[in-house]
């Protein structure tokens, strides 16, 4: 068993070096700049629109029920985004890459917001009805229906099912277990069993239960966490400007302690930033597709906002706490992950700090487990929609939650990084191939805004290939499913 584990670790290490060198970082930057420039920086130009569409009410589905609203779709994606990466991942990025890693997380978030707009608009456009009465979709669906590449669609569906159903859920459970073991001394096995039970209760209730649970957890957990950080910033107001200066100086190697470490700052900032906000990875379009909205662009805008919320707000809040910590150490031999964040918060709040972070990571990571499962289920149904297959998947996910709670943290992060990179490369190729479609759909949205109308998508009004866009046929609204 030890030989197998050692071999697996070596394979994962080699793949990480190959994927996370200049190759993937170059792809992320070039693709992100292409999406941003070609759309005239839609992530800035329609920033106000992001908040406007967030308030939209859900469309009425053909069976007379209300679909998942834009806000609930946002919370499903936020549930997956806001998790381990925001609390433990930021700590690891700073320890390994220095304070400058925070700046490069901001950079990848700004670029990624443009990428998120494209992939989530496509996720909405190529969605299909599911057996629960709502919608599902994502990269696998637009690869098959938009690009006519079934093999690529199946490959991606397998990747995301394994990545989110198993690798990422194991990582979330691992972080929760580490936090509670550190704060209360609770055995990891006990934590794993409890997490597995609560995960089972929700995932056996279907997509709408997941949407309802995350709809409550995400806003509450984020509000409390940000409020505490804001109060600590007020108390330590004299540290704000030096902290900002430290971030920028370290990012460009201007700080003596981090001279020559710019590459490490960029690598760790991009890695942890992508893990946290998931822009371009191909996960969020699955949540975007579930919403019952009047125009595909609306989910593109909402998921762009999600990238900003995740990285610019929540990740930055964690970075602030960590950079206030005077005993912070850097380098591969230093303490990493959730333990750093707990120690930093304890320095500000006493023993309660570690307990507070343990509670926060429970809510953050548990909601991520639910969001991750939703992505896995959507893609598993793409590969093979059968009740027995879905039951086996649910049981395996529950088992992985337990296993993840007791596994080695380094191997967990490295495995997640490999699968994340493979997903990102595959998805970005597909988005570039379908970018022309997004341009036309976006123009339709912009024209309706200029005319002073509430944008409603009629497929006959847009000059695109109609194949595979069955949920947007021209008579959809004439059937009485929506009052315009």
Instruction: Give 331-379 as a DSSP string.
Output: STTS--THHHHHHHHHHHHTHHHHHHHHHHHHHHHHHHHHHHHHHHHHH
121 pLDDT exceeds 90?
yes
pLDDT tier, 399 (very low <50, low <70, confident <90, very high otherwise): confident
Model pLDDT, residue 80: 61
Using one digit for the tens of pLDDT, what is the confidence trace for 160-200? Answer: 888 888 888 888 888 788 878 877 788 888 888 888 888 88
- Is 443 a residue whose pLDDT tops 90? yes
- Percent of the chain at pLDDT exceeding 70: 85
Answer positive or negative: Cα dihedral of 85, 91, 92, 97. positive
237 membership: H or E segment, kind and range: none
Contacts of 44 (CB under 8 A, 6+ apart): none
Residue 433: predicted pLDDT: 93
SS3 68: strand
**d(C-alpha 426, C-alpha 140), whole Å:** 10
Rounded mean pLDDT, 292-305 = 88
Beta strands, E only, 132-186: 135-136
- Ranked by mean pLDDT, the top range of 8-22, 109-123, 243-257, 285-299 is 109-123
pLDDT tens, position by position, 35-47: 999 999 999 999 9
Q: What is the mean pLDDT of residues 428-437?
A: 92
Burial of 307 (0-12, 13-18, 19+ CB in 10 A): buried
- The kind and range of the H/E element at 23 are helix 22-38
pLDDT above 50: residue 343 = yes
| Per-residue pLDDT, 379 | 85
| Pairwise CA distance, residues 400 & 166, whole Å | 6
Q: Residue 261: is its pLDDT beyond 70?
A: no
Backbone angles phi, psi at 325, to 5 degrees: -80, 115
């Amino acid at each position: 068993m030890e030989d197998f584990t050692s071999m697996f670790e070596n394979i994962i290490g080699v793949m990480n070096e190959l994927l996370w060198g200049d190759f993937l970082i170059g792809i992320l930057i070039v693709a992100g700049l292409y999406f941003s420039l070609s759309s005239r920086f839609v992530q800035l130009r329609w920033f106000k629109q992001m908040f406007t569409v967030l308030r939209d009410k859900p469309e009425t589905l053909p069976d007379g029920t209300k679909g998942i609203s834009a806000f609930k779709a946002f919370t499903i994606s936020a549930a997956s985004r806001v998790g381990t990466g925001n609390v433990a991942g930021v700590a690891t990025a700073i320890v390994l890459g220095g304070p400058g890693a925070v700046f490069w997380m901001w950079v990848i978030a700004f670029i990624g917001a443009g990428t998120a707009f494209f992939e989530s608009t496509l996720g909405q456009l190529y969605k299909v009805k599911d057996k629960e009465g709502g919608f599902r979709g994502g990269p696998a669906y637009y690869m098959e229906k938009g690009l006519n590449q079934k093999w690529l669609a199946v490959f991606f569906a397998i990747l995301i099912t394994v990545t989110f159903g198993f690798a990422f859920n194991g990582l979330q459970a691992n972080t929760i277990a580490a936090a509670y073991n550190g704060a209360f001394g609770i055995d990891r096995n006990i934590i794993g069993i409890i997490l597995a039970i609560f995960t089972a209760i929700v995932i056996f209730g279907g997509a709408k239960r997941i949407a309802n649970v995350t709809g409550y957890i995400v806003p509450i957990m984020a509000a409390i966490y940000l409020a505490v950080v804001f109060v600590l910033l007020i108390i330590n107001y004299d540290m704000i400007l030096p902290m900002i200066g430290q971030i920028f100086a370290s990012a460009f190697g201007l700080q003596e302690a981090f001279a020559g470490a710019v590459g490490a700052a960029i690598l760790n900032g991009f890695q942890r930033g992508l893990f946290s906000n998931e822009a371009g990875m191909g996960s969020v379009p699955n949540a975007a597709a579930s919403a019952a909205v009047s125009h595909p662009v609306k989910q593109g805008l909402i998921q762009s906002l999600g990238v900003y919320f995740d990285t610019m707000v929540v990740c930055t809040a964690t970075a602030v706490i960590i950079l206030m910590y005077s005993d912070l150490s850097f380098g591969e031999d230093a303490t990493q992950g959730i333990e750093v964040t707990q120690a930093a918060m304890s320095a500000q709040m006493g023993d309660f700090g570690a307990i507070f972070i343990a509670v926060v990571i429970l809510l953050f990571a548990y909601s991520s487990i639910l969001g991750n499962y939703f992505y896995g289920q959507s893609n598993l149904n793409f590969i093979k929609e059968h009740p027995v297959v879905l039951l086996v998947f649910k049981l395996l996910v529950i088992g992985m939650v337990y296993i993840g709670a007791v596994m080695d943290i380094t191997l967990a992060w490295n495995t997640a990084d490999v699968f994340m990179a493979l997903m990102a490369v595959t998805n970005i190729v597909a988005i570039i191939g379908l970018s022309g479609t997004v341009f036309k759909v976006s123009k339709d949205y912009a024209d309706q805004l200029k005319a002073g109308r509430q944008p409603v998508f009629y497929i006959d009004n847009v000059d695109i290939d109609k194949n595979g866009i069955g949920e947007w046929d021209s008579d959809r609204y004439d059937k009485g499913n929506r009052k315009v």
